[in-house]
Amino acid sequence: MCKNIGFVSTRFAGTDGVTLEASKWADVFEKNGYSCVWFAGELDRNSDTSFLVAEAHFQHEQNQWINAQVMGKKGREPQVTQAIHDLRSLLKASLHEFIQYFNIDLLVTENVLTIPMHVPLGLALTETIAETEIPTISHNHDFYWERVRFAVNAVSDYLRMAFPPNLPNIKHVVINSGAQEQLALRTGISSTIIPNVLDFENPPTLDVEGARIFREAIELEPDDRMILQPTRIIQRKGIEHAIELVKELGDNRNKLVISHEAGDEGFEYVEWLKEYACEHGVCLRLITTKIADPWGNNGNEQAKYSLWDVYPFADFITYPSQYEGFGNAFLEAIYFKKPLLVNRYATFVRDIEPQGFDLAVMDGFLSRKTVNSVIDILESPERREKMVNYNYEVATRHYSYSILRTQLNALLNHFFGNSISNLYAQSTCL
């Protein structure tokens, strides 16, 4: 028998990693006949499957006021505590309504019980899960102890309670081995590793016309090379290294294109990047139009282009991140058979690099050897073809939907036993 699955977060919109990975999980569930519905403060899903609560967004004014009172501080005033609980109470009522309205059998929480960007929502969700005893998968992409900005806070009591909670009806999922170890060490909570995935069993269907229109929309000439930085504009993405690379390549045909929006962590970094690119004589193109999640069906039709329109005409991918929980952009580049430069961030070194991918790599700085490697890749079609095909084969073995289905089957069997069908590549529930 198929189940109704409720996804919960602060936002399911755009192309951030949490939204994309949640959409992939939903894609696997829905192809097997399950129904997926969405609770968040911002949604670009179909309205029939959406439960929008504005107060659930991490950028809602009430939550931003609370964060300003408790982050970077060691004590909180009674009125702040009261504000937290007032918002918690409102959100808990909404969560109960969401569960009842859609007759939800299983919750999947997406990072909302790990990163305290919305403390009242984390508390509300924890209490709701405890009260309803609803089976829950907590899909944990990052933890607060991994981020310096949460190191000093006035809500340590709430963090111990709900970020993440240790409840018998919650099964925790992490996306890398380091997170699994730290979660167990710090909280005693065991977890399952499910890495980020893509449907490598089914290569992408290219919308050549859509991709061409996109390329023209960002004013690239036919002879220009599109060096793509497919990430949000936040400091830990290390985008200054991509600017340095384009400068060192020394070819005016190379144009650096950043596909995702700025704003999640302010606009100071993006303004600095513009100045930095100007100083280095690098042509930087920022995509200002909204880019859609390829799996979200663009339910409210706000986006003109999909993320899948961005990749096809890219000539090279830069991924110089300082830190990643896993790395969606890495898999996307492999999926579209694009060569790429990767900074050896910790999760890459520990979990991804041992798989044996053929890549241009840097280790915290851009060396002449790395630049020469990129030049060789750009100038040699044979080298490039061999590289991208080999990487696709490696990723198919380790990061395909089949890995996700296997792990989800184990979790579903834990909760529901033989009352449900296993997830398969092509299946319909009975």
Asked, for residue 203, whether it belongs to a domain, the answer is no
pLDDT of residue 369: 96
Q: Is the dihedral of CA 410, 415, 417, 422 positive or negative?
A: negative
Q: Is the pLDDT of residue 115 over 90?
A: yes
Asked, for residue 188, whether it belongs to a domain, the answer is yes
Asked if residue 155 and residue 18 are part of one domain, the reply reads: yes
385 Cβ contact list (under 8 Å, min separation 6): none
What would the mean pLDDT of 279-292 be, rounded to a whole number? 82
pLDDT of residue 419: 82
Residue that wins the pLDDT comparison between 401 and 425: 401
Asked, for residue 202, whether it belongs to a domain, the answer is no
Domain containing residue 332: CATH number: 3.40.50.2000
State the residue range of the domain holding 246. 208-398
Asked, for residue 29, whether it belongs to a domain, the answer is yes
Q: How many domains does the chain have?
A: 2
pLDDT of residue 265: 67
pLDDT digits (tens, 9 = 90+) for 314-352: 999 999 999 898 988 999 999 999 999 999 999 999 999
pLDDT of residue 212: 74
pLDDT of residue 290: 66
What would the mean pLDDT of 371-385 be, rounded to a whole number? 96
Q: Please, which pLDDT band fits residue 296 given cuts at 50, 70 and 90?
A: low
Asked if residue 146 and residue 34 are part of one domain, the reply reads: yes
User: Among 104-108, 221-225, 308-312, 412-416, where is mean pLDDT lowest?
Assistant: 308-312
Percent of the chain with pLDDT over 90: 77
Asked if residue 218 and residue 367 are part of one domain, the reply reads: yes
Asked if residue 389 and residue 248 are part of one domain, the reply reads: yes
Q: Is the pLDDT of residue 260 over 80?
A: no
Residue that wins the pLDDT comparison between 16 and 122: 122
Asked if residue 374 and residue 289 are part of one domain, the reply reads: yes
Asked if residue 181 and residue 86 are part of one domain, the reply reads: yes
Asked if residue 214 and residue 111 are part of one domain, the reply reads: no
Asked, for residue 354, whether it belongs to a domain, the answer is yes
pLDDT digits (tens, 9 = 90+) for 24-81: 999 999 999 999 999 999 999 999 999 999 999 999 999 999 999 999 999 999 999 9
Asked, for residue 430, whether it belongs to a domain, the answer is no
Asked if residue 276 and residue 303 are part of one domain, the reply reads: yes
Nearest Cα residue to 276 out of 247, 254, 296, 317 = 247
pLDDT digits (tens, 9 = 90+) for 264-275: 666 899 899 999
Q: Please, which pLDDT band fits residue 287 given cuts at 50, 70 and 90?
A: confident
pLDDT of residue 430: 46
pLDDT of residue 289: 65
pLDDT of residue 428: 46
pLDDT averaged over every residue in the chain:
92
pLDDT of residue 136: 98
Q: Is the pLDDT of residue 279 over 90?
A: yes
Asked, for residue 16, whether it belongs to a domain, the answer is yes
